[in-house]
């Protein structure tokens, strides 16, 4: 089945385009494939990265806010490197 998309910008409505990327909505395998793909996302002993569906949070605690911030930044840098390696864009 062809999947189509279009992006409206201001008053301009372009023609429908075919997409080859991504998983169709309501796909039974979608959540399983997402977890397989992101299972090796970098983690750290210094931070917690809880996940809900396709959202991920980064949490760090420390008595000194600056240290917690440094822990978060290190984790973000690792995730950024992972995303570049696997050609993934993160919103």
pLDDT in tens, 33-80: 777 777 778 877 778 888 777 778 889 988 999 999 999 999 999 989
- How do residues 69-88 score in pLDDT, each as one tens digit? 999 999 999 989 988 998 88
Would the pTM count as exceeding 0.85? Answer: no
| DSSP codes of every residue in 41-88 | ----TT-B--EETTEE--B---SSHHHHHHHHHHHHHHHHHHHHHTT-
């Amino acid at each position: 089945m062809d999947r189509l998309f279009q992006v409206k910008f201001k008053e301009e409505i372009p023609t429908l385009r075919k997409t080859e990327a991504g998983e169709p909505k309501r796909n039974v395998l979608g959540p399983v494939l997402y977890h397989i793909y992101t299972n090796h996302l970098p983690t750290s002993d210094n931070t917690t990265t809880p996940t809900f569906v396709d959202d991920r949070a980064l949490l760090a605690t420390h008595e000194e806010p600056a240290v917690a911030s440094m822990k978060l930044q290190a984790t973000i840098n690792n995730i950024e490197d992972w995303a570049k390696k696997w050609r993934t864009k993160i919103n």
